[in-house]
Structure 1
Amino acid sequence: MEFFRFDSDVSREISQFSSHNAGISPIIRNKTATVGCIHLKDNSVLGMHPAACPQLFLIVDGEGWVKTAGGEQIAVQKGTAVYWSEGEEHESGSYLGMTAIVIEGPDLDPHQYLKPL
């Protein structure tokens, strides 16, 4: 058995796309998928950017918001999964702090197991 850390203390800052108070702890990257833990602190923004491939954003703690280009902020909380298609411009943030697992990959299809809201 081995143990690893992916908490905010071992995350690296995300500054691209005018982001602030945001970090990521990379977890896995292979030929078909990338998984990381996004840490959004108080008053954070992970700036508007296109999804490089299909992306699933699983909120595991806290609450915040997400939006697409030209759209309004939509509140999200622990237990919510947000899916963005390849190329879809999106942004996320939090006023009080939020942690999310992000899964990216060309064959990602959340409809296989998750029920849409």
Structure 2
Amino acid sequence: MTDTRTASARPGGSVAPGAAASDVSAPDSPAPEIAVRLFAGAAAEFGADEATVRARTVGELVHALTAGATPEATRVIGRSSLLVDGVACTDHRRALAPGTRVDVLPPFAGG
């Protein structure tokens, strides 16, 4: 049975260093709500398999997920692959739009 509990991460973070103005929404407007799916060890550490985060960039999303998180949860997020709308993303300056879905995939063992 799949755990369908959800969690809300705290909004936060500033725009990632080097982000261009066109990469983010206007600073006076609220950051968009981003749906985050947490898998395996990330879901176990956060106690949920989904979260909602307000973030303008991938970097803000990571910051929001890890702000106030346990050291182990922070470690898992730091080692995880992030998929933005199904595409691997390593650029923390990447802008996020309303309706974007981010998947957090920790390293998996086995085959």
* TM-score bin, normalised by smaller chain: 0.3 to 0.5
Larger helix percent: 2
TM-score, with length taken from structure 1: 0.36
TM-score, with length taken from structure 2: 0.38
Larger strand percent: 1
| Relative contact order higher in (CA < 8 Å, ≥ 6 apart) | 2
